């Protein structure tokens, strides 16, 4: 079955799933190239981008010969190792213009947990870079992402949606201060080099944190990060040793499992002499055993808690969001037509190219039979066949352009199918 | 009305509560009802009342049950006015001003009481003054402990809306330790002075009965709490529970003493 859709977005987000379900389907950056490669090799997509953040895992694709929306949704769940059907209802599926609108909304942080938050733009750029490295992003998705980033910029400059948007970093600072009172004289342990971890660590340092220790799987990376914060670096294996000493633990790795267990924390509690410990788990899947929150003096927060806390000012940004939705809607209409126009032009080009190839081979064959034909008459045959092809194609192609301009891609597809151009994939 | 100032203090404490309830029932908010001026007025009225009792009796106000209750109420309300100068301490007022109201109301129910001749010595007054200062500090510690437990519960349960209305946990814990420590020192010196006073008079009066043993029990309770905090690192929740239970026990003993034992040391 050939898929009728031009653009598909399938995914799971904070709107449909809680953090436990999101982390089941989250994809670590080093696994993305493999997944995108499999999508292409299995014929599910001709172009694909995988966006996996703490709040969402989404697949944007131009479907291939075997790719339809249900298969892609199943593929996304299975790529995260989820084979049961419990997540099926939580994966949303969007097609064509609806998919484009969704991508624009995500880029403009209208779909974000914290309305107006700025991190999503960087995360989308990273997803595009990963797809480019894996040769998975073709012309269509390049254009889609390009438009999405432009729309995002327009939304942020023309509306107040980003004004006073409490960042995740600031939320982390405020929650830590709510337990510890002041950050002066306090120390933090940053485990991993994830984006959110760096943001919160930076905010903590800016708000007076005295000391920061960075642990990472790669020691060199830990040392580089520690330099950024005027801190010190330790190997990942030494995290346990630092738990009794620090006041704040930030975890933001892509390890995909618990790095700090309840036993690790319990072991260090007696040495803390009742001092409070704030543990902020920014990773999805989580890195800190959630049950540590039950321990006396330990306060554990995850990305959802930070977002909830940060989202308190959302009401004030909702008016701006309404204006932003208008911008997104207008841009979706405009860019979808542009994208379809470009797609139609590419396919029309294929039809014209195919017809020209047929003409050339037919002319070549007939001229072999009519050997010795004078050059002027050979030229006349060439001109005549060109004119025939042009005239035969003129009306259907013009009609296709008209349909495309009116946004009626379905009718145009009938013509493409008739000419055999539809089944081909972009390279 | 033989104690108009205390009555005015009580009105200043009750009126904003009734006003707040009335306004809230209509789905509105009022800055007037929650204004700290009510607490300032109540504290001033209590001060006037306590001075009036002292002038009338020709002795320290604490030597009678009524004067003692009002002095304690004054210490607590004054303590709160100092405490609320710190950030986000308004919430402690809900607990403390309710206690002040309760003490003031109880003092008005009590008869003014006669002053024993032996109770007018400065040494005796200092003994009582320190005891009341200690009790006031424990009342503040109780409010801080209750706020700590409330705030801790919110943070543990991820009920994050409105957590910034209350002070940080470590701030509450630190202030709780200080007030408990201050109260403990005052109570210790007060008890010691009372002991020497009893020995000096040779009567040994006051070294038995509910108030004495109750006060000693409370002293022991806070001594254990502070010791475990200093030596064993019992901070946070255990310290807050100590503060709440300690003051609860103290209130029970004082209540029983007032109802059954006929006042302090049966006076």
* Segment B174-218, tens digit of pLDDT: 999 999 999 999 999 988 888 887 777 766 565 566 677 777 888
CB-based contact A308 B233, cutoff 8 Å: no
Two structure tokens written together for B216 = 């000693």
Strand partners, A233: A214
Fold annotation for A8-158: Beta Polymerase; domain 2 (3.30.460)
Structure tokens at A97: 């213009």
Q: Residue A152: what pLDDT?
A: 92
* Helices B169-201, B237-259: inter-axial angle, 10-degree rounding: 40
Q: What percent of chain A has pLDDT over 70?
A: 92
Q: Model confidence at A2, in pLDDT bands (50, 70, 90)?
A: very low
Nearest residue in chain A measured CA to CA from B87: A181
Tallying the residues shown for chain A, one arrives at: 427
Q: Give the nearest chain B residue to A271 (CA atoms).
A: B233
Of the candidates B244, B148, B226, the residue with the CA atom closest to the CA atom of residue B187: B226
CA–CA distance, B193 with B121 (Å, rounded to integer): 12
Residues of A in contact with B160 (CB under 8 A): 175, 305, 308-309
Closest CB to A274 among B151, B164, B236: B236
pLDDT digits (tens, 9 = 90+) for A219-232: 888 888 888 788 89
Residue A309 near chain B (CB below 8 Å): yes
Which of residues A360 and B64 earns the better pLDDT score? Answer: A360
Facing A305 at nearest CB: one of B158, B168, B171: B158
pLDDT score for B172: 92
| The domain over range A168-312 is classified in CATH as 3.20.20.70 | no
Q: A293 contacts in B (CB within 8 Å)?
A: 156
Asked if pLDDT for residue A198 goes beyond 70, the answer is yes
- Quote the CA–CA distance of B178 and A404 in Å, as a whole number: 77
What local confidence, expressed as pLDDT, does residue B177 receive? Answer: 93
- Reply yes or no on whether the pLDDT at A138 is more than 90: no
> Inter-chain contact A305–B234, Cβ cutoff 8 Å?
no
Sign of CA dihedral B125, B126, B127, B130: positive
Contacts of B238 in chain A (CB under 8 A): 274, 296
Residue A159, helix vs strand vs coil: coil
* Distance between A298 CA and the closest CA of chain B, angstroms: 9
- What pLDDT band is residue A313 in, cutting at 50, 70 and 90? low
Is the CB of residue A177 less than 8 Å away from at least one CB of chain B? yes
pLDDT on residue A157? 82
Bridge pairing between strands A8-13 and A45-52:
unpaired
CB atoms within 10 A of CB A18: 10
- Residues of A within 8 A of B155 (CB-CB) are 178-179, 299
d(CA B144, CA B170): 11
Per-residue pLDDT, A273: 82
Contact between residue A171 and residue A307 where contact means Cβ atoms under 8 Å apart: yes
pLDDT in tens, B132-163: 888 888 988 998 999 999 999 999 998 887 78
Q: Residue A424: what pLDDT?
A: 46
**Euclidean distance between CA atoms A7 and B85, whole angstroms:** 60
Cross-chain Cβ contact B235/A274 below 8 Å: yes
Q: What is the mean pLDDT of chain A?
A: 84
Identify the CA nearest to B67 among candidates B125, B151, B1. B125
Rounded to an integer, what distance in angstroms lies between the CA atom of residue A300 and that of residue A315?
A: 26
Asked if A179's CB is within 8 angstroms of B169's CB, the reply is yes
Whole-number Å distance between alpha carbons of B167 and B161: 14
Are B235 and A301 inside 8 Å of each other by CB?
no
Judge whether A251 counts as a catalytic residue.
Answer: no
Residues of B in contact with A276 (CB under 8 A): 169-170, 236
Q: For residue A281, list chain B residues with Cβ-Cβ distance below 8 A.
A: none
Say if residues A307 and A168 touch (Cβ distance below 8 Å): yes
- How do the domains of chain B map onto residue ranges? 1-115, 121-267
Q: In this complex, do A275 and B235 lie within 8 Å of one another by their Cβ atoms? A: yes
Q: Which of A272, A250, A271 is nearest to A260 (CA)?
A: A250
The nearest CA of chain A is from the CA of B92 a distance in Å of 17
Residue A248 has pLDDT above 90, yes or no: yes
CA quadruple B242, B243, B249, B251: dihedral, nearest 10:
180
Percent helix / strand / coil, chain A, rounded to 5: 60, 15, 30
Inter-chain CB proximity A181 and B236 less than 8 Å: no
- The verdict on a CB contact (< 8 Å) between A293 and B156 is yes
Are B170 and A276 in contact (CB < 8 Å)? Answer: yes
Q: What's the rounded Cα separation, in Å, for the pair B86 and B89?
A: 6
In degrees, rounded to 5, the angle at the alpha carbon of residue A94 between the alpha carbons of residues A93 and A96 is 150
Distance CA A178, CA A201 (A): 16
pLDDT in tens, A58-93: 999 998 877 788 888 888 888 766 666 777 778 899
Q: What pLDDT was estimated at residue A101?
A: 95
Are B237 and A309 an interchain contact pair (Cβ–Cβ within 8 Å)?
no
**A288: DSSP letter:** B
- Most confidently modeled of A57-71, A331-345, B173-187, B227-241? B173-187
Catalytic residue among A25, A27, A54, A404: A54
The Cα–Cα gap between A56 and A111 comes to 10
| pLDDT of res. A312 | 65
Q: Could you give the CA distance from residue B101 to residue B229 in angstroms, rounded to a whole number?
A: 32
Q: Does B171 touch chain A (CB under 8 A)?
A: yes
Q: Which residues of B touch A180 (CB under 8 A)?
A: 168-170
Percent of chain B with pLDDT over 90: 18
CB nearest B234 (choices: A178, A274, A312): A274
Q: Do the Cβ atoms of A299 and B174 come within 8 Å?
A: no
The structural domains of chain A, with segments of one domain joined by +, span: 8-158, 168-312, 350-419
In the predicted model, what is the mean pLDDT of residues A294-311? 86
DSSP A245-280: T-SEEEE--S--S-SB-HHHHHHHHHHHTT--EEEE
Which helix (DSSP H) or strand (DSSP E) does residue A72 occupy?
Answer: helix A69-79
Chain B, nearest residue to A293 by Cα: B156
Alpha carbon of B237: minimum distance to chain A alpha carbons (Å): 8
C-beta separation of B83 from B179 below 8 A: no
- The pLDDT confidence band at residue A146, using thresholds 50, 70 and 90, is very high
CA distance linking residue B202 with residue B196, whole number of Å: 10
Q: Inspect the interface and report whether the beta carbons of B233 and A293 lie closer than 8 Å.
A: no
DSSP state of B61: G
B66 band by pLDDT with thresholds 50, 70 and 90: confident
CB B99 within 8 A of CB B77: no
Neighboring chain A residues of B170 at a CB cutoff of 8 Å: 179-181, 276
Read off the DSSP letter of residue A136.
-
Closest residue of chain B to A299, computed from CA coordinates: B156
pLDDT beyond 80 at A304: yes
Give B196 to chain A, closest Cα distance, Å. 38
Quick one: tokens of A314? 């959302």
The pTM of the full predicted model, rounded to 2 decimals, is 0.62
- Tell me what pLDDT residue B119 has: 56
pLDDT classification of B266: cutoffs 50, 70, 90: very low
Range 224-263 of B in CB contact (< 8 A) with A: 229, 232-238
Identify all chain B residues contacting A181, using CB atoms and an 8 Å cutoff.
167-171, 174
Q: Do A308 and B156 touch (CB under 8 A)?
A: no
In which order are the strands placed within the sheet that holds A8-13? A45-52, A56-63, A8-13, A92-95
What pLDDT, on the 0 to 100 scale, is given for residue B150?
92
Q: Which one of B87, B169, B173 makes the best mutation probe of the A interface by having the most chain A beta carbons within 10 Å?
A: B169
Taking CA–CA distances from B168, the nearest residue in chain A reads A178
- Length of chain B (residues): 267
Helices (H), A370-425: 375-405, 409-419
**CB pairs < 8 Å spanning A and B:** 54
**Could you say which residues from 256 to 285 on chain A have a Cβ atom under 8 Å away from some Cβ of chain B?**
272-276
Rounded average pLDDT over A390-402 = 85
Mutating which of B91, B158, B162, B240 best tests the A interface, going by the most A Cβ atoms within 10 A? B158
Contact A175 B164 (CB under 8 A): no
Tell me if B45 sits within 8 A of B77, measured CB to CB.
no
The answer to whether the Cβ–Cβ distance between B164 and A174 falls below 8 Å is yes
């Amino acid at each position: 079955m050939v898929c009728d859709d031009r653009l598909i977005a399938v995914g799971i987000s904070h709107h449909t799933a809680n953090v436990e379900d999101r982390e089941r389907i989250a994809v670590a950056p080093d696994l993305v190239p493999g997944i995108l490669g499999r999508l292409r090799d299995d014929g599910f997509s001709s172009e694909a981008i995988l966006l996996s953040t703490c709040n969402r895992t989404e697949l944007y694709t131009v479907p291939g010969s075997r790719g339809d929306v249900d298969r892609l949704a199943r593929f996304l769940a299975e790529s995260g190792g989820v084979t049961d059907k419990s997540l099926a209802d939580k994966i949303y599926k969007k097609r064509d213009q609806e998919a484009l609108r969704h991508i624009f909304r995500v880029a403009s942080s209208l779909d974000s947990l914290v309305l107006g938050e700025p991190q999503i733009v960087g995360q989308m750029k990273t997803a595009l870079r990963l797809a480019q490295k894996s040769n998975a992003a073709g012309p269509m998705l390049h254009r889609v992402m390009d438009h999405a980033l432009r729309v995002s910029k327009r939304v942020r400059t023309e509306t107040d949606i980003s004004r006073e948007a409490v960042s995740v970093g600031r939320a982390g600072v405020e929650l830590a201060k709510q337990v510890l009172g002041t950050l002066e004289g306090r120390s933090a342990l940053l485990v991993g080099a994830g984006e959110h971890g760096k943001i919160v660590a930076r905010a903590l340092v800016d708000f007076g944190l005295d000391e920061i220790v960075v642990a990472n799987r790669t020691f060199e990376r830990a040392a580089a990060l520690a330099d950024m914060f005027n801190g010190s670096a330790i190997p990942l294996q030494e995290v346990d040793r630092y738990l009794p000493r620090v006041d704040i633990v930030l975890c933001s790795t892509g390890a995909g499992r618990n790095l700090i267990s309840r036993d690790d924390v319990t072991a260090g509690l007696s040495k803390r002499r009742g001092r409070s410990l704030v543990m902020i788990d920014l990773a999805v899947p989580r890195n800190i055993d959630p049950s540590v929150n039950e321990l006396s003096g330990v306060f554990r927060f995850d990305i959802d808690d930070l977002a909830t806390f940060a989202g308190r000012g959302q009401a004030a940004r909702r008016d701006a969001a309404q204006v932003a939705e208008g911008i997104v809607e207008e841009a979706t209409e405009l860019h979808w037509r542009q994208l379809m126009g470009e797609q139609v032009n590419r396919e029309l080009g294929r039809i014209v190219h195919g017809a020209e190839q047929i003409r050339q081979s037919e002319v070549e064959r007939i001229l072999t039979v009519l050997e010795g034909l004078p050059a002027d008459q050979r030229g006349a045959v060439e001109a005549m066949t060109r004119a025939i092809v042009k005239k035969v194609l003129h009306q259907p192609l013009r009609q296709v352009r008209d349909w495309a301009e009116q946004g009626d891609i379905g009718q145009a597809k009938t013509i493409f199918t008739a000419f055999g151009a539809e089944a081909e994939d972009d390279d | 009305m033989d104690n108009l100032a205390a009555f005015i203090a009580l009105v200043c404490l009750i009126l904003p509560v009734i006003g707040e309830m009335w306004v809230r029932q209509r789905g509105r908010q009022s800055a007037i009802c929650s204004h700290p001026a009510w607490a300032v007025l109540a504290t001033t009225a209590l001060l006037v009342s306590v001075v009036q009792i002292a002038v009338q009796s020709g002795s320290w106000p604490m030597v009678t049950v009524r004067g003692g209750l009002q002095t304690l109420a004054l210490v607590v309300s004054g303590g709160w006015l100092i405490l609320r100068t710190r950030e986000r301490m308004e919430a402690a007022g809900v607990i403390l001003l309710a206690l002040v109201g309760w003490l003031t109301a109880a003092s008005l129910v009590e008869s003014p009481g006669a002053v024993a001749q032996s109770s007018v010595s400065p040494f005796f007054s200092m003994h009582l003054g320190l005891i009341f200062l200690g009790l006031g500090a424990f009342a503040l510690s109780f409010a801080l402990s209750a706020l700590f437990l409330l705030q801790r519960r919110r943070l543990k349960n991820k009920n994050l809306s409105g957590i910034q209305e209350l002070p940080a946990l470590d701030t509450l814990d630190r202030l709780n330790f200080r007030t408990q420590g201050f109260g403990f020192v005052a109570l210790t010196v007060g008890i010691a002075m009372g002991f020497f006073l009893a020995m000096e008079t040779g009567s040994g009066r006051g070294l038995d009965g509910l108030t004495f043993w109750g006060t000693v029990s409370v002293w022991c309770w806070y001594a254990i709490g502070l010791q475990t905090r200093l030596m064993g690192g019992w901070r946070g929740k255990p310290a807050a529970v100590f503060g709440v239970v300690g003051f609860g026990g103290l209130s029970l003993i004082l209540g029983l003493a007032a109802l059954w034992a006929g006042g302090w040391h049966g006076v």
